[in-house]
């Protein structure tokens, strides 16, 4: 079929079922409803809510979903064909699908003879009856039925005729879409494309063809696109590729590939620009760190670090970017590091609204960065430290405070256990402030003492919150004399920023990162567009 003649690709999200089979993901019913509503807003056509016959949480999801207004998506209930040697009316799983009261039901069935004989332990003919009768039972009750042909590609290569017979059984039962599943994730794109093309020819006019792939061979996205090339019009996948073992086909790559690379519609007009935000939202709800290097939606997807790359980008943004990042809701970033050139610093300064007109200033900062990175600093995730370097070059800039002395004592006290106490002496606008603070460790005590001294002068510090504190040992072979790198993430009600320190003394490294953090927050507190130094 010509791509010009192709209908819109129907998008089916299974994050809430297949995605939750990933190790480390456990979503509450509230979580699932929040994600479903966000997918609906994105313009996903079909959202698989779960398997109502398998657990109370999924049954609750469908009950609560019925009370919500869905602007675009249809909610789908998932289940399996009836068990062997019983009628559909006797099968609790099929009746649970009806009780879920969704317009669409997806039923998975066995396609591979190995699974029929060794897993189900039934006959090939009985399996065909199980498929057809299950489809018919749901169809007769007014449901649109989608058939997931499990292990289809393994099954086809083992016994092509029987694999096709299972699809025909589903169609006879009333399935309007049959989905070919690479359940073990081992198919190669050229193998899969050849098989899909043959199936599309055999089923043409009988049912729409869908594709569902797993990523065990690292080819889930490629396999999905290969299937679409030769006739699949229904695509299943998950946000961020979440799924069992190595994951499912990643919709965050598939959707822009379909729209921007293949010219096929998959989302309502204008919705693709929400994709990066949806990716981060689902990661946040799933309590997983976003994959910063994910294609299209990762924070590093359009980040440029090498000096010659950035120099080229400043002349023509198409030179090192395959699309405009705004199309998927992302943004171009310049990373500052020891690999940086003048262009990196000019671009970074422009991002934060500063001008570096002097070649001397640029060289000074560049040399300082290279020297510090050689000592263990890393500025890729600490762009606020770079911004502070820029700020300190301004001829009229007066630092909000200057360190004079600090001391830290850690001791064990009866009845209280380990206690840390820090004293700091700061020059604040010409006034010497000497304060002390306690904490559960030396860094916490230093932070408390510094805030205690500065907050009466700078009230906005009360809104600064230490969001993350990371320590990395750089040369562990030196034992306790190793260099330690400290990364501090701080957030306020307006923005979030990262700073860095490095030293053979962990307290000194932490102090440098804390000082940069507070100085950045005070110097840029009124910055409206802080995207240049936001950390995810």
DSSP secondary structure string for all residues of 417-483: EEEEEEEEEEEETTEEEEEEEEESSHHHHHHHHHHHHHTTT-GGGGG-EEEEEEEEES-GGGGGGS-
Q: How far apart are CA 187 and CA 182, in angstroms?
A: 7
Give strand pairing partners of 106: 78, 146
Is residue 271 within 8 Å of residue 256, measured between CB atoms? no
Domains of the chain plus CATH, in order, are: 8-285 (3.20.20.70), 303-393 (no CATH), 401-457 (3.30.160)
Nearest to 280 by CA among 235, 245, 331, 320: 331
Determine the pLDDT at residue 442. Answer: 87
Could you give phi then psi for residue 235, rounded to 5 degrees?
-120, 125
3-state DSSP call for residue 122? coil
3-state DSSP call for residue 225? helix
Ranges of residues in the chain with a pLDDT under 50 are 1-4, 337-339, 527-536
pLDDT digits (tens, 9 = 90+) for 90-142: 999 999 999 999 999 999 999 999 999 999 999 999 999 999 999 999 999 99
Could you give phi then psi for residue 189, rounded to 5 degrees?
-55, -40
pTM of the model: 0.74
Nearest to 505 by CA among 487, 472, 489, 482: 482
Helix (H) or strand (E) holding 190: helix 189-203
Residues of the chain by 3-state class (helix, strand, coil), percent to 5: 45, 20, 35
Tokens, residue 333 = 């970033």
Determine the pLDDT at residue 29. Answer: 95
3-state DSSP call for residue 13? strand
Is residue 277 within 8 Å of residue 288, measured between CB atoms? no
Q: How far apart are CA 291 and CA 300, in angstroms?
A: 9
How many residues does the structure list for the chain?
536
pLDDT digits (tens, 9 = 90+) for 37-50: 999 999 999 999 99
3-state DSSP call for residue 22? coil
Nearest to 278 by CA among 260, 264, 291, 297: 297
């Amino acid at each position: 079929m010509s791509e010009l003649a192709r209908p819109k690709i129907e998008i089916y999200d299974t994050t809430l079922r297949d995605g939750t089979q990933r190790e480390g993901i456990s979503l509450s019913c509230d979580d699932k409803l929040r994600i479903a509503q966000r997918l609906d807003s994105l313009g996903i056509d079909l959202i698989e809510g779960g398997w109502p016959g398998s657990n109370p949480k999924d049954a609750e999801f469908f009950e609560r979903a019925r009370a919500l207004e869905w602007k675009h998506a249809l909610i789908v209930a998932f289940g399996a064909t009836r068990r062997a040697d019983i009628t559909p009316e006797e099968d609790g799983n099929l009746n649970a699908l009806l009780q879920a009261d969704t317009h669409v039901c997806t039923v998975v069935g066995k396609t591979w003879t190995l699974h029929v004989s060794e897993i189900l332990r039934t006959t090939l003919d009985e399996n065909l009856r199980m498929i057809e009768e299950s489809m018919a039972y749901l169809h007769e009750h007014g449901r649109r039925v989608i058939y997931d042909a499990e292990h289809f590609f393994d099954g086809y290569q083992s016994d092509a005729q029987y694999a096709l017979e299972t699809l025909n059984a589903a169609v006879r039962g009333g399935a309007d879409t049959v989905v070919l599943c690479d359940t073990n994730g081992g198919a190669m794109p050229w193998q899969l494309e050849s098989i899909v093309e043959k199936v599309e020819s055999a089923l043409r006019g009988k049912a729409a063809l869908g594709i569902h792939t797993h990523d065990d061979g690292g080819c889930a996205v490629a396999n999905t696109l290969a299937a679409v090339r030769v006739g699949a019009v229904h695509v299943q996948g998950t946000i961020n590729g979440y799924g069992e073992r190595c994951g499912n086909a990643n919709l965050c790559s598939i959707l822009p590939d379909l729209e921007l690379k293949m010219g096929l519609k998959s989302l309502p007009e204008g919705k693709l620009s929400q994709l990066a935000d949806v990716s981060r939202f689902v990661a946040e709800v799933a309590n997983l760190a976003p994959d910063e290097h994910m294609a299209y939606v990762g924070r590093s997807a359009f980040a440029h670090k090498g000096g010659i790359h950035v120099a080229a980008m400043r002349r023509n943004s198409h030179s090192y970017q395959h699309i405009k990042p705004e199309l998927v809701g992302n943004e171009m970033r310049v990373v500052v590091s020891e690999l940086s050139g003048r262009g990196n610093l000019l671009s970074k300064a422009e991002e934060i609204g500063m001008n570096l007109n002097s070649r001397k200033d640029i060289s000074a900062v560049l040399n300082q960065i290279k020297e510090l990175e050689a000592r263990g600093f890393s500025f890729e995730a600490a762009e606020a430290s770079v911004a502070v370097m820029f700020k300190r070059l301004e001829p009229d800039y007066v630092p909000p405070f200057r360190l004079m002395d600090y001391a830290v004592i850690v001791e064990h006290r009866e009845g209280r256990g380990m206690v840390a106490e820090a004293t700091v002496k700061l020059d604040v606008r010409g006034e010497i402030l000497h304060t002390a603070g306690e904490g559960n460790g030396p860094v916490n005590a230093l932070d408390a003492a510094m805030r205690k001294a500065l907050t009466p002068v700078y009230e906005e510090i009360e809104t600064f919150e230490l969001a993350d504190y990371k320590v990395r040992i750089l040369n562990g072979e030196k034992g306790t004399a190793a260099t330690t790198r400290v990364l501090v993430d701080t957030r306020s009600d307006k923005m979030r920023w990262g700073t860095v320190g490095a030293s053979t003394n962990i307290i000194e490294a932490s102090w440098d990162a804390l000082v940069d953090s507070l100085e950045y927050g005070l110097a840029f507190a009124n910055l409206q567009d802080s995207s240049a130094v936001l950390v995810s």
